Amino acid sequence: MAPGHSFWAIFYFACLCSASLANNARVNFREKEKKILDQILGAGKYDARIRPSGINGTDGPAVVNINLFVRSIATISDIKMEYSVQLTFREQWTDERLKFDDIGGRLKYLTLTEANRVWMPDLFFSNEKEGHFHNIIMPNVYIRIFPYGSVLYSIRISLTLACPMNLKLYPLDRQICSLRMASYGWTTADLVFLWKEGDPVQVVKNLHLPRFTLEKFLTDYCNSKTNTGEYSCLKVDLLFKREFSYYLIQIYIPCCMLVIVSWVSFWLDQGAVPARVSLGVTTLLTMATQTSGINASLPPVSYTKAIDVWTGVCLTFVFGALLEFALVNYASRSADRAADIHRENMKKKRRELEQASIDAGSDLLDTDSNATFAMILNGNLQKPLVRHPGDPLALEKMRQCEVHMQPPKRPNCCKTFMSKLPTRKCSRSKRIDVISRITFPLVFALFNLVYWSTYLFRDEDAGE
């Protein structure tokens, strides 16, 4: 065979061998995974009941690093004092019994979907009320085993967790809801939970809550000691701030409007009894219904909340407006009764005076008739009496002339303002209405100043 032909034959044979080796490598790679799994997890080779050794194969406790990814927070219930959260929960630890050859870096990790094949930490959520795994379409769980024996466990779960709340500042409050994770059976001598370094808790971007805002979150440790030993525990505190705009529109502004509407009765005539009574009773019932609706959405706590102070004072103002009309009506009826009595007394006096004048006139008639007859006979008829200059009527006219001759005085603002206020000449019921028109708004404005200054600028940590 010529040298050129032999070269091409050798080249062709080498290409066939390389292609065959590549095919064998692909097949052998998958087979290698199976062999590795059978090798490290085969019967009699790995016992999932035994915990891993400590760091560097020591007899110390197994260290488990934990991190979370908060996917969503569904609801935060004030009545049940709980919140619902969906998260991706991850645990990572080292089990030297699971080391394997990575075939020159080509095998990055092995994947399992059966958690019972390897040892798992006995972690549980201590403040959990309800919880479930996600199995649509397949169970949302995986286990990755890395060549150096590290194990990563990841699962998606939904939890309903208890969140004890302090509602003294409701709805101007902040609440801290915790997520606690602890070991159920292994003490700190065998198992220790640690937060993963760097960024142990992640929250999905654009997290929207209906009535709260997630301000920040803090990670901490919460180891607990019981009669059976000390157990490792981790917690993450979620600080929620309640959105006040919703309550401003739904509670505070309507209550203010009801209080102001109740003041309209001060401007109605005191004789409009049906209008004032219906207005007062309607606003009172509406305010009571509003208060009942607010309390129905809250748990029956033993302390006074900020919203209780607001609704209680608003209800008092509405009730006070109704009592004010009762007082006005009573004063009006008392004035009418006094006027009737005075009128009767005047009539009685007038009748007495008329009777006395009639009696005196009859006596004078007899006397004057005799005297007049005597004067006529004697020719001494006197001229009629003439009013003298010093009599009271002339003096009064002179005083009026003097008043008109005096120069006009400058207007006094204080006297002008005071003249508009109710005087003794006004009826008592009218004075009550006029005073109420000024007093009720001033007191309500003062209450608002004290209320908002107290609760908006109160430096109190949430949950205390």
**pLDDT of 377 above 60:** no
> What are 59-108's pLDDT values in tens digits?
889 999 999 999 999 889 999 999 999 999 999 999 988 998 888 878 88
Render 6-58 in DSSP notation, one character per residue. Answer: HHHHHHHHHHHHHHHHHHHHHHHHHHHHHHHHHHHHSTTT--TTSPPP-GGG-
175 phi, psi to nearest 5 deg:
-125, 145
Would the CA dihedral through 341, 347, 349, 352 be positive or negative? negative
> What are 100-141's pLDDT values in tens digits?
888 887 888 888 888 888 999 999 999 999 999 998 888 899
* Structure token pair of residue 294: 């607010």
What's this model's pTM, rounded to 2 decimal places?
0.70
- pLDDT, average across residues 188-206: 92
Residues 149 and 95: beta-carbon distance below 8 Å: yes
Residues 217 and 237: beta-carbon distance below 8 Å: yes
Render 87-113 in DSSP notation, one character per residue. Answer: EEEEEEEE-GGG----TTTT---EEES
**pLDDT of 270 above 80:** no
Rounded Cα distance between 200 and 65, Å, is 9
Q: How confident is the model at residue 459 (pLDDT cuts 50, 70, 90)?
A: low
Q: Which range, 15-24, 39-48, 201-210, 391-400, is most confident?
A: 201-210
> What are 131-174's pLDDT values in tens digits?
999 988 888 999 999 999 999 999 999 999 999 999 999 999 99
- pLDDT, average across residues 229-248: 93
**pLDDT of 353 above 70:** yes
| Mean pLDDT over the full length of the chain | 80
- pLDDT of amino acid 381: 46
Residues 260 and 287: beta-carbon distance below 8 Å: no
Residue in 114, 99, 101 with CA at minimum distance from that of residue 32: 101
**pLDDT of 409 above 80:** no
- pLDDT of amino acid 28: 56
**pLDDT of 360 above 50:** yes
- The alpha carbons of the chain give a radius of gyration, in whole angstroms, of 49
What is the widest separation between alpha-carbon atoms in the chain? 200
For 222-316, strand residue ranges (E) read 224-226, 229-231, 233-242
- pLDDT, average across residues 311-339: 82
- pLDDT of amino acid 407: 53
Render 300-346 in DSSP notation, one character per residue. Answer: --SS--HHHHHHHHHHHHHHHHHHHHHHHHHHHHHHHHHHHHHHHHH
